[in-house]
Amino acid sequence: MGRFAIAGLVLAVVLASSPVYAQAEPQGPKSVAALAAQLSPAVVNIGSTTHVPGGTPFPEFPEGSPLGDMFDHLNPNEGKGKGPMQEATSLGSGFIISADGYIVTNNHVIEGADEIEIYLTDGRRLPAKLAGHDDKTDLAVLKIESPTPLPFVQFGDSDSAQVGDWVMAIGNPFGLGGSVTLGIVSARNRDIEAGPYDNFIQTDASINQGNSGGPLFDMYGKVVGINTAIIARGGSSLGIGFAVPGNLASPVVRQLTEFGETRRGWLGVGIQEVTDDIALSLDRPNTNGAMVVDVDPAGPSIGVLLEGDVILQFDGKTVARMRDLPRIVAETAVGRAVPVKVLRNGSEEDVDITLGRLEVPGDTAMVAGTDAPAPAMADTAPAVGLDELLGLGVAPLNDAARAEFGIDAAVNGIIITEVTDGSDAYEKGMIPGLLITEVNQKAVSSVEEIEALVTEASTAKRPVVLFKVTDPAGSSRFIAVKLG
């Protein structure tokens, strides 16, 4: 026992004289100190000031009260309207993209600001003017004047930033300034319902309040994203942040810099998602694409795209989901002739469309169909035969039905008068008052035509029937209903 104890003691002495942490080469991820030092001078802190109504709290007396007359001269707000203006300040981040002083940030960082100041890493504090902003992508471009050229950074190819790649955020969290955090791309193509063109890069690089508008760099020092949003508790990051991809931001920034406004492409069609049932009705192996539900008669697609077309590719880019199309169209230059691949009557066709310009405030490059509110039930008797197969009752449209459902005089079709509770048609949003205009992409003008096409589908053992329906106001969409 003694020998073992002595041996153990000797071993402990040997270990103590040879530290286990001593290594010939540094271990762990490579330091980004040199890269951070190189990029930091192009990252700025942004302070914005907004004048808002304020005032010193003071009791209000009923009109005509003698107390009011007595204390009026003591009211610190007297003569200043409803209350003196106070300053509300906010802090954010941004980055310089040109030597002559153009700066990119988030629109929400400077929105409504009366004064904007830029804090440079060399200690200077310069006033900034708003060159342009875009609500849809939450981007803004500022301009500062400097007697000397400024350090700047460039956009990289955000599509090359893959899940698992290292990224670095530099910004002004909590007003601390010059903070560097490191993480990876956690996910891509995130839709957080912040706008019509959502396609965020998700990262676990720490992003907190004040980081908004700051750059997300790849390891080559190129900007692959603009830090915009976080999932937070109490204002602190929970490790999930979102950045606008550089490839989405770059054309917007270029337009804001050059024109002071965006100039997005416009296709002029209404679209809807290709659901599993719609794909099944079209014999498609997947739900790729965006289905055209209407074509603006004043738009660039009139005479080229048809209702019922499924847009599969736009300008050589695959439309994997409906929401991809508005973003792709918006990024395309106005006036360009663009190749478009569509599925039409079961066959793929190639067409060319010269894009218009999206100019109306509040519009998007695409407008998806919306669900109509449920109108009251009609007294028209349903046709026989469709109830068992689909849970639907339909009838010819007459003046009484137009009056009852408020159907526009220009809207025509076969009216749905009854929908069986719990049926697939009911679950899919078929309601009395909707008008059927197509069945399996064939126009219908009578109850008999609908019955014939539904019977044909049932005999052919097709699992679903595709209806084009129009609401009383004239908005259309496609609904695929399973056969009973």
Q: What is the DSSP string of 430-455?
A: --TT-EEEEETTEE--SHHHHHHHHH
- Marked catalytic residue, from 48, 90, 93, 108: 108
Residue 62 has pLDDT above 80, yes or no: no
Instruction: Collapse the DSSP code of 74 into the 3-class scheme (helix H, G, I; strand E, B; otherwise coil) and give the result.
Output: helix
Whether 212 is a known active-site residue: answer yes
Whether 108 is a known active-site residue: answer yes
Write phi, then psi, for 399 (nearest 5 degrees). -60, -35
In 319-379, beta strands by DSSP E: 337-344, 347-354, 356-358, 367-368
Q: What is the dihedral of CA 9, 15, 17, 22, to 10 degrees?
A: -170
Tell me if 398 sits within 8 A of 379, measured CB to CB.
no
- Marked catalytic residue, from 48, 93, 186, 212: 212
Q: What is the mean pLDDT of residues 263-279?
A: 90
Whether 73 is a known active-site residue: answer no
Read off the pLDDT of residues 292-314 as tens digits, 9 standing for 90 and up: 988 888 899 999 999 899 999 99
Question: DSSP character for 288?
Answer: -
pLDDT band at 66 (very low <50, low <70, confident <90, very high): low
Q: What is the dihedral of CA 13, 18, 21, 25, to 10 degrees?
A: -170
Q: What is the dihedral of CA 159, 160, 162, 168, to 10 degrees?
A: -100
Write phi, then psi, for 471 (nearest 5 degrees). -85, 170
- Token pair belonging to 322: 């409906």
How far is residue 260's CA from residue 256's CA, in Å, rounded to a whole number?
4
Q: What is the DSSP string of 7-43?
A: HHHHHHHHHHTS-TT--SS--SSPP-HHHHHHHGGGE
- Marked catalytic residue, from 93, 133, 138, 294: 138
Read off the pLDDT of residues 125-172 as tens digits, 9 standing for 90 and up: 999 999 999 988 999 999 999 999 999 999 999 999 999 999 999 998
Write phi, then psi, for 174 (nearest 5 degrees). 55, 25
Q: Which amino acid is at 89?
A: T
Tell me if 191 sits within 8 A of 203, measured CB to CB.
no
Q: What is the mean pLDDT of the chain?
A: 82
Q: Is 28 exposed, middle or buried (0-12, 13-18, 19+ CB in 10 A)?
A: exposed
The pLDDT score that the predictor gives to residue 215 is: 96
Q: What is the mean pLDDT of residues 228-247?
A: 79
pLDDT band at 177 (very low <50, low <70, confident <90, very high): confident
Question: DSSP character for 326?
Answer: H
Write phi, then psi, for 40 (nearest 5 degrees). -55, -35
Tell me if 224 sits within 8 A of 245, measured CB to CB.
yes
Tell me if 216 sits within 8 A of 171, measured CB to CB.
no
Read off the pLDDT of residues 411-425 as tens digits, 9 standing for 90 and up: 889 999 999 988 888
Mention every residue, 6+ apart, whose C-beta is less than 8 A from residue 5.
none
pLDDT band at 236 (very low <50, low <70, confident <90, very high): low
Please tell me the least confidently modeled range out of 42-56, 60-74, 98-112, 351-365: 60-74
- Token pair belonging to 240: 């999930």
Instruction: Collapse the DSSP code of 144 into the 3-class scheme (helix H, G, I; strand E, B; otherwise coil) and give the result.
Output: coil
How many CB atoms neighbour CB 227 within 10 A? Answer: 29
